[in-house]
Structure 1
C-alpha cells in the first residue's frame, strides 16, 4: 500500500541581492528559516466546529464547513511529540495556548487536506485565523506517530531528507509520478516534483551526509528508487528521531548557557563577537516608558528579535532580519518601565572588519 506523504506548500526560492559572496550567501540560505534560540513556540489546536474553511461540495455545489478540530487522542499524541523534541535538551520550548492570537503554531486536523507544516519562522507570515500545520489522517493509527514528529521537525526548520543533494538517489521518475498520482495522495506532477524529485540547495539540508533513518525521510515502495542499489526493494525509515536529527536540532538550538543574558543599557553599545550562526542574548530594563530603537552595527547579516516577558516567559514583540541587505537591522518598540524585555541577536555571517555590535536607544 502506498504511504501517505507530507506535502509542503510550493514556495518561491528566496531572492538575494546580486554580488553576495559565497560564504555570506550560504549562511543566509541555511539560517533564514531558523528561529532565534530561546524562543518559546506557542501552539494552538483549533477547538470549535466553526473553525475551518468553507468548501463547495463537488456533487451538490452547496457550501459546507470543513472542521479543523482534532480528537483529544490526536491532540494528546501531538503534545507528546512536542515534548519528545523538547526532551532532547534544546533551547526552544513549546507551550500550548488557548488563544490563537498568542500562537506562532496553529494546528488543524482537516481530513483529506494532507499533512503539512510551514517551515521554521515562515509560520510568522501566516494569518492568525489560518493553520500553520495540518494533520490530514488519523495519527493514532499504527505507524502514524512519526507523522507528528515529522511535521514538528518542519516547524523547527527542517526539510525533507530524501531531497538532499548528498543522498545520491536516482529515481525512476515516471514510477514516482504514477505512484503519487493515485490513492491515497492524488498528487499533481508539480506537487510530486516539489516534494520528492526536486533537489534542495546543499545549504538547506541537515548535514553533508544523507540520513535514510531521519524522521524527515519518506518511506518509498519498491521500484521508485533505482540507486543506491540497496533501496531498490524499498526504503522504510523507522519513524523515529534519528541520531542525526537530534544532532541537527541541538546544533541550531543549544541549551541555555550560564551566566544568563547581559544587560543592554540604553545608549551604550555592546560588542557581539559572534561567529556564523552564533547568538547573543540581552535583557533590557527600560528606565522610562517610551518608544525605543534596537539596532545592530558593523559588517554583518543578522536577525534581531525583541521579546516582552509575560507570565514568566518571553513573548514575541517585534523583529527585523537584515540578511543580504546593505543595511543593519533596526527595530522600534514601545517599552514600558517596570517590565522585562529580552533582545536576541543571531548572526548569519560577517565580513570586512568582522566587528559587530548592538545598541538600544
Structure 2
C-alpha cells in the first residue's frame, strides 16, 4: 500500500524523468517465493481451483498476532513500533473483523503462539507473506511475517492492506483480467527512485507481473480495492481511462467485502456437525466452501480421521479449550493422489473440532469424512 492517495508520476510516457523533485509514494512489496509446481496429471481446471484457495485459512481459525518489542524479547530494537503505530495495526485488524467474518484475531504476548509476527523496521518497506505462507514458509518464531517500514501511525489503509495479504489476498493491480498495459520503462524508472529504490526484478514481481488466473477471485478488476496500488499519470498505456492514473477510494471496497465474506463467513453453532465413530458424513460443498465437525471421544486412544472420494481438500483438527481452539494437526492433499488423513491420540471427554475446505472435487457430492 502507499502513504498517500495524491500521486504524481516521476516518469513520462517515454520512461524519462519529468521532475526529479517529485517522488513516488512508498509501496508495499510481497516476499518472492517459488511458484508451486503441479504434476502433469493435474488438469488446468483443478490447478486453478487449488491456486485460488491454497493460501486461504480454514474459516474459524484464531489468528494470533505478536508485536516484536526490541530488547525485552531479544529481537532487534529497530523492530519495535511506537504505541501509535501499534494502535494503527490494531485498527487494521478491527476493520476486517467488523465485516462479521468467521476468523478471530487475538493479540498474544508469546511469539511462539503467534502466526502473525509484526515488526516496524524503518527502510525495510511494508510487506507480508500471503495467507498460509506465514506458517508454511516462516517456521521460526524469531522471524517477522509482516513489516511496516515507515510511520503508519495515521495510515490505517496500509495496515488493512498488509493484513489483507495475511488473509490470502494478492495485489489487485496484478489481476490479469484488468487488461492493464504498463509503460514498463516508466514504471521501472519511477520505482528505482526514492523512497522505494526497487530493482527491476522487484518492480516486475510486485507491479508488472500478471498473476496466474487461478489466483484471482471473481471475473472483474476492482480499481478501488484496498489491495490495489494507486498510480500516477504516465505509468499505464491502456485502458485509456487509466492513462491519467488510478486512485483507489480508500478503505474496503465492495469487492473486498465480497471476498472476505465468501472465504470467511460467520460460523453459527448450527453449522457444526457431530461426528460419530465409524459413521461416514458427506462433504457436499462447492470448491472454496467448508464443513465444520465436532467429535468427543468416549475413550482415550489413537484415532484416524480421513476423507474419502475424488477430492482435493485441506483438513485441520483443533482441541476446544476454555481459552479457545488449540491447533493440533492438519493435512493438505491438494494436487496429490491420496486423501487427507490425520492419525493422532485423542483424549476421552475432550472436544475436538475438525474443519475441512474443498479445493476440487472430481464429481459433485462424491466426498465424505469418517473417524475410526
Q: TM-score per shorter chain, which class?
A: over 0.9
Normalized against structure 2, the TM-score is what? 0.90
1:113 corresponds to: 124
Give the Å deviation of 1:232: 1.9
Please tell me whether residue 97 in structure 1 is matched to residue 108 in structure 2: yes
The partner residue of 1:231 within 228, 232, 242 is 242
Please tell me whether residue 203 in structure 1 is matched to residue 225 in structure 2: no
What are the residue-to-residue correspondences of 1:1-361 with 2, within 5 Å?
Answer: 1-49=23-71, 65=76, 67-125=78-136, 126=138, 127-141=140-154, 144-352=155-363, 354-361=365-372
2:12 corresponds to: none
- 1:308–1:317 contact (8 Å) kept in structure 2: yes
Which one is further off, 190-199 or 334-343? 334-343
| Deviations 1:110-153 (CA, angstroms, capped at 9, x unpaired) | 11111111111111121221111111111024xx2211000010
Q: Secondary structure at the match of 1:183?
A: coil
| Deviations 1:71-98 (CA, angstroms, capped at 9, x unpaired) | 1111111111111101101111211111
Task: Name the CA shift for 1:223/1:24 in 2 (closer, same or farther; >3 Å).
Answer: same
Runs of 4+ in structure 1 deviating by more than 4 angstroms, as ranges, are 50-53
| Deviations 1:270-322 (CA, angstroms, capped at 9, x unpaired) | 22122222211111112222332211111111100011122342122111100
Which one is further off, 5-14 or 221-230? 221-230
Q: Secondary structure at the match of 1:291?
A: strand
- 2:180–2:239 contact (8 Å) kept in structure 1: yes
| Deviations 1:41-78 (CA, angstroms, capped at 9, x unpaired) | 1111112336577xxxxxxxxxxx45211111111111
Give the Å deviation of 1:346: 0.9
Alpha-carbon separation, structure 1, partners of 2:283 and 2:322: 29
- 1:214–1:244 contact (8 Å) kept in structure 2: yes
Normalized against structure 1, the TM-score is what? 0.92
Alpha-carbon separation, structure 2, partners of 1:38 and 1:130: 25
1:59 corresponds to: none
Task: Name the CA shift for 1:116/1:353 in 2 (closer, same or farther; >3 Å).
Answer: closer
Alpha-carbon separation, structure 1, partners of 2:74 and 2:49: 38
Structure 1 residue runs of 5 or longer lacking an equivalent are 54-64
- 1:145–1:239 contact (8 Å) kept in structure 2: no
- 1:39–1:93 contact (8 Å) kept in structure 2: yes
1:58 corresponds to: none
Q: Secondary structure at the match of 1:7?
A: strand
